[in-house]
């Protein structure tokens, strides 16, 4: 055993040894963005969205080990994007996030906002002693982008290979979501539900949010991103490797 640096009055002083080097090391964390399409077409699901958002926040609030690893921010987007829940210490929250559905489905502004937020959020985490993994974005949408093809330049900036903090994206599509668009904006996984009527779409949204929540909890347990092999009611969208 290595000699202690000095006899402490309390009986023990942690030495500066090999094991102790980890003490001063940072803890790992996963910056996570839950991005919700809150365009007008989502209006029938507004209540469900808010109820499920509450459940997600509750899960983190009541589970310190999950909240220590998952650093969550919630972003909604329609005609404009909104930061519904900033990436703060969940235990310091005093109110619950609420979303309202209206407007159009503008992808471009949402991707721009994400790019802006990620730099600041990771800087904040680092200042708090967290060594951040590459961020992950969970995108839930029921439609296709209404900003034509202009969103692609914003997406390209978000996924800039020269930007070390570029996030990985996981998407869940339901309603009139486009498989082609999901495939284009997803880098880790994409799931799409069969288009259905309002009740089916509501069920699909609920399953998607449940899947996200389980993914967060499982990832916290494993201390790394653990994507689901399958999502009930969804089929996986095959993703192609860009460098093949």
Q: Give the count of residues interacting with other proteins (CB under 8 A).
A: 41
187 within 8 A of 169, measured Cβ to Cβ:
yes
Nearer to other proteins, 65 or 235 (CB): 65
Contact between 127 and other proteins by CB under 8 A: the answer reads no
Beta carbon of residue 207, minimum distance to other proteins (angstroms, whole number): 12
Out of 11, 148, 149, 161, the residue judged to bind other proteins by CB under 8 A: 11
Per-residue burial over 66-88, b = 16 or more CB atoms within 10 Å of its CB, e = otherwise: bbbbbbbbbbbbbeebbbbbebe
Our CA angle for 4, 7, 9, nearest 5°, is 140
Rounded to whole angstroms, how far apart are CA atoms 85 and 97?
6
Q: Look up residue 15 and give its two tokens.
A: 């030495």
Nearer to other proteins, 25 or 120 (CB): 25
Specify the residue for token string 């460098």.
243
Nearer to other proteins, 178 or 223 (CB): 223
Q: Which helix (H) or strand (E) holds 51?
A: helix 46-61
Query: Which of positions 93-122 make contact with other proteins (CB under 8 A)?
Result: 93-96
Rounded to whole angstroms, how far apart are CA atoms 190 and 74?
19
Residues 6+ positions from 151 with CB-CB distance below 8 Å: 106, 107, 108, 111, 145
User: Comparing C-alpha atoms, which of 231, 194, 238 is closest to residue 212?
Assistant: 231
Query: Which of positions 26-55 make contact with other proteins (CB under 8 A)?
Result: 27-28
Beta carbon of residue 17, minimum distance to other proteins (angstroms, whole number): 6
Nearer to other proteins, 89 or 194 (CB): 89
Site string for other proteins, 66-85 (x = CB under 8 A): --x-----------------
Nearer to other proteins, 39 or 211 (CB): 211
Rounded to whole angstroms, how far apart are CA atoms 22 and 1?
18
Near other proteins by CB under 8 A, which window of 42-50, 72-80, 179-187, 214-222? 214-222
Beta carbon of residue 220, minimum distance to other proteins (angstroms, whole number): 9
- Residues lying near other proteins in the complex (CB under 8 A) are found at 1-2, 4, 7-8, 10-15, 17-23, 27-28, 57-58, 61-65, 68, 91, 93-96, 214, 217-218, 221-223, 228-229
């Amino acid at each position: 055993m290595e000699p202690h640096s000095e006899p402490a009055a309390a009986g023990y002083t942690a030495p500066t040894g090999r094991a102790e080097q980890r003490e001063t090391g940072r803890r790992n964390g996963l910056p996570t963005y839950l991005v919700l399409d809150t365009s007008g077409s989502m209006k029938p699901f507004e209540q469900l969205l808010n109820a499920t958002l509450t459940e997600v926040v509750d899960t983190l609030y009541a589970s310190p080990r999950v909240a220590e690893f998952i650093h969550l921010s919630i972003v909604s987007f329609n005609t404009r994007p909104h930061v519904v829940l900033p990436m703060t210490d969940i235990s310091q929250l005093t109110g619950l996030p609420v979303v309202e559905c209206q407007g159009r489905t503008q992808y471009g502004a949402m991707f721009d906002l994400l790019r802006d937020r990620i730099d600041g959020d990771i800087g904040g985490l680092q200042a708090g002693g967290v060594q951040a993994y590459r961020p992950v974005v969970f995108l839930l949408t029921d439609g296709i982008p209404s900003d034509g093809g202009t969103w692609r330049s914003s997406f390209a900036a978000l996924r800039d290979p020269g930007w070390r903090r570029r996030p990985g994206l996981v998407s869940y599509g339901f309603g009139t979501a486009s498989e082609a668009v999901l495939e284009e904006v997803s880098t880790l996984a994409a799931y799409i539900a069969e288009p259905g009527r309002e009740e089916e779409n509501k069920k699909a949204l609920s399953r998607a949010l449940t899947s996200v929540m389980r993914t967060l909890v499982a990832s916290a347990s494993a201390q790394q991103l653990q994507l689901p092999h399958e999502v009930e009611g969804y089929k996986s969208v095959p993703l192609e490797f860009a460098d093949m």
